[in-house]
Structure 1
Amino acid sequence: MCFVSSSDPSPPPQDTRTPFLHLSNLEEGHYQFILQVTDSLGQTSNTSVYVYVQQPSLAAPKANAGQDMQIVLPNTTVLLDGRGSTDTSLSTHWVWTQISGPNMAHLAYPNQSHTSASGLTKGEYQFLLTVWAAEDAGKNTSDLLAVTVRQEHNVVPKADAGGDFSVTLPVSAVVVDGSKSSDDVAVTRWLWERDATSLAAGHVINGSDHSPVLLFTGVVAGRYVWRLTVWDDQGASSSNTVSIIVKEGKWVELM
């Protein structure tokens, strides 16, 4: 009994004088093997078998970013789940990117099949999932996911002028921080106004009376009172006051 290769582009097989032929390290192509058997009288008979070796057919991963979704404030986090994608493997690469939205969301793990997107605000977002096989980066596919963030009930914003404090002369400028004011969506307008009980001396720097942080200079000793009012995008507002005591400094005369 003997196997003979008639169209083998690789080295001939080993152990050909056996009923079972073992092949290894075959290259792409067509192979023909001839089996010849001989009996005790020396009579022979032949038959042939064909082997076709082809490159594996690797389908590109197909991205599936999941169904579009809606959330309602005060919820500001969603799960982006691409585990419904097909033809994936341990070597599949994943990338989540934000295409649009009213602000930039925070993606916890943008290079994994699923991740959380947090810090969302009212409006429409679009996130894109792109997947590809490590063996062929050119075969990438993408899928788009839409997330709608709704606001069912408007909450009045909360003004926070920072709390009363004191400073001692001389000071180049007084800083009053109202940036901790808050809203369920966003504060859209700020206004600092001097209270009627406040000293009139001093002036605001660089239009900061329309910003979260008020800067004013030219102060003298005494009490200043400022009122901060904030608004949201639906016109709701609230106010808060802050008192600043400006103290005389201790002057030391040098002889």
Structure 2
Amino acid sequence: MRQRRMMFTAVAAAGITLAAASPAEAIANGEPVQEGRYSFSVKLTMTGIPVLGGGTRNSACSGALIAREWVITAGHCFRDENGVRVERPVAASTVATVGRTDLITSPGGHELEIVEVKQSATADVALARLAEPITDIRPLAVSRRAPKVGEVLRLTGYGSLTSANATPVTHLQTGQLVVESVSDATLGVRGKAPNPDTTPCPYDSGGPFFRESRGHAPQLVAVVSDGPSCPHTDIEIPARTDNLAGWIRDTTGR
């Protein structure tokens, strides 16, 4: 299965090829999130990413606030012009929008620059530090318990609704997928609700997969990492985060 492609816009420079890009994607055949729900969800907007051979591109990813100053997302959202994951913001500007269900009409929320990046050594997961702490949004808790086969997880993201002519949505989307396999660094999940082909799409990379249970706060277990073109009914391969909980705690102080 190939790595999920990151869509981008070439801003300058002749000779830039789409093949040079790679990972991120939104939720196909999901549903809009109700205003104010899942306020820990994050849209990352990257402007002016250097491209091999000259010029720049723009892109976007999704993520989640997991501590007052830290966002979790996919590691491949921070790659240099050679496609190598790096521990720094690669774009001229990387802005995290947090706590805004609709990017155009929702009141409040935050728009903060990313100033530092930490990459997991074992998984396609990165932590991105905000320029200022956010104190009015409850961060998403990071689970230490591995998902089980058959468990239903919820996903949120600001990605496209399809791989064809992909464009990030302005309203946060959500859907549910069911766990079909668990490996050391990844999960295998398949669309469940509202449709069997509810799946991540372009610009959903880094979006949080989390468990929900009555009477308990949601708990992060994985982030969008890899999968086929959307929509699809095949296996999606998110990167596990439950087994990175110690590293996440040491990095964020949470």
Higher strand share: 1
Larger radius of gyration between Structure 1 and Structure 2: 1
The TM-score with structure 2 as length reference comes to 0.19
Structure scoring higher RCO (CA < 8 A, sep ≥ 6) equals 2
Higher helix content, 1 or 2:
2
